[in-house]
Chains A and B, each alone.
Chain A
Amino acid sequence: MAGSNKIKITPPRWLLAELTYKCPLQCPYCSNPLDYSKHNAEISTEDWKRVLSEARKMGAVQLGFSGGEPLVRPDLPELVKHARDLGYYSNLITSGYGLTEEKILQLKEAGLDHIQVSIQASTQDLNDHIAGTESFQSKKEVARLVKKHGYPMVLCVVIHRENIHQMPEILAMAEELGADYLELANTQYYGWAHANRDLLMPTKEQYEKAEKIAQDFKEKVVDKMKIYYVIPDFHEKRPKACMNGWGTTFLTIAPDGVALPCHSARELPGLDCPNVNDSSISEIWNESKAFNFFRGTEWMKEPCASCDEKEKDFGGCRCQAYLLTGDMHNTDPVCDKSPDNHVIQEAIASARESALSDGEKPLIFRNSKNSKNF
């Protein structure tokens, strides 16, 4: 594992500032920790400013304000202004809920570069069902206002079994709203999505059909809209190059100041993730146990250790290895060389069985009542 001195440490480029776990919506695929209600402390405005300044000094340039719902923090405009003064390119990753025209203008004035609005589906009924809150009309209105005020407009739709059949309508909606970018994010099974996996994972046929529709559309709109298609890794033979390599590029700060090498890393045992209240960003990035834990390739077990693809995918995702095999050092089971690959095949089969049966159990929505059960 960690601590090999030979590894050259590159500076962070991407800072994800999870300002709060509070959110008015209840998406059942939310990537926040299941027990988020236990971590309800939030660091102060001054702490955030220090974090932004220190990370910028090291070389971070892309900044995501996310959550939860970052609009819940009243100091958001102040933080945006600070970020702009430092030279960050700042991205607001929002559900759009509660975003007024006045606020959009205020954030623009403060120097916000881009707003990504998530929409849950192409119809009101389904959007409001998945979000757990009536929000469809206001989200569409927000998307229009974002465009009107000269921001690049990025629409994000998380894809799962409840909405995958709407792919043609989702694409038409993005075109109608004038999206500059459309992110079609196939659900990644962490956090709440992991708990709801049997109910959320589409069948292979559904994926293939939806992907074909999205690819054809991509060619059609190539001059006006960029489409990012986040692949469903369960159906791949190789894992994703998670986080572009551990501790190489991404730094996430959780609402309570805990620094994470990836936003799911809170679930990994024994990492002792450091807190910005106790250490500087440079100490956290360069010296902490957590950030050095999976740097480089020394920590790998077989089959990764002797695999000639290890510099390409870094053995996949540590959180996925942990969630699905119980050992975070294992090869990501998505890889077909992994001795645990059967767990992926079993997950696909189990979701399929659930899809084909009538008596499905209900989704577990992301809210503090449900969070207290974890």
Chain B
Amino acid sequence: MSINPEQIIHFSPLHRLQWEEAQQKDVILYPEGMVELNQSSAEILKLCDGSRALNDIVADLEEKFSTTGLKNDIIAFLDVALQNGWIKQD
């Protein structure tokens, strides 16, 4: 399973992404489990909101952090996220 660059990416309806004040971290919550995210992973996942495909996410993040060349890292992370079921494509 890997990301299809043409398709819109959704966050999984079976998981929840949330900021944890006590841990000062974003986390993914699912039945009886939790994954702690670093900042860049959290920024990517927040854009998986059902309105963007891969290139939109890359463009938005490169703009936000005033940088270029993020694409490969973003793809690598999204593949992991897809395999873990955190995100979905139709």
Contact = CB atoms under 8 A, between A and B. Distances in A.
Question: Is B a genuine binding partner of A?
Answer: yes
B80 interface: no
Contact of B16 (A13, A113, A116, A154): A113
A3 to B, nearest CB: 25
Nearest to B32: A91
Contacts of A58: 22
A154 B22 contact: no
Interface in B8-48: 13-14, 16, 18, 20, 22-23, 27, 29-34
Interface in A178-233: 180-181, 223, 226
Contacts of B14: 152, 180
Nearest to A223: B1
A327 B85 CA distance: 44
Nearest to A150: B13
Nearest to B14: A152
Contacts of B29: 61-62, 89, 113
A177 to B, nearest CB: 15
A62 B32 contact: yes
A86 B15 CA distance: 17
Q: How large is the interface on A (under 10, 10 to 19, 20 to 34, 35 or more residues)?
A: 20 to 34
A59 B22 contact: yes
A116 B29 CA distance: 15
A114 B1 contact: no
A315 interface: no
Contact of B31 (A13, A61, A91): A91
A113 B34 CA distance: 13
Contacts of B34: 13, 61-62, 89
Contact of A59 (B23, B30, B31, B85): B23
A11 interface: yes
Contact of A116 (B13, B20, B31): B31
A185 to B, nearest CB: 12
A372 to B, nearest CB: 33
A347 to B, nearest CB: 29
A255 interface: no
A87 interface: yes
A274 interface: no
Residue with the highest number of chain A CB atoms closer than 10 Å, among B18, B27, B29, B32 = B32
A64 interface: yes
Contact of A89 (B16, B22, B85): B16
A57 B23 CA distance: 11
B22 A152 contact: no
Nearest to B18: A87
Interface in A109-156: 113-114, 116, 150, 152, 154
A64 B22 contact: no
A181 B20 contact: no
A61 B30 contact: no
Interface of B: 1, 13-14, 16, 18, 20, 22-23, 27, 29-34, 85
5 contacts: A62-B33, A91-B31, A91-B32, A180-B14, A181-B31
**Top 3 closest A-B pairs, CB basis?**
A59-B22, A89-B29, A152-B14
Given A11-B22, A59-B20, 18 more contacts: A59-B22, A59-B23, A61-B27, A61-B34, A62-B29, A62-B33, A62-B34, A89-B16, A89-B18, A91-B32, A113-B16, A113-B29, A113-B31, A114-B31, A114-B32, A154-B31, A154-B32, A180-B14
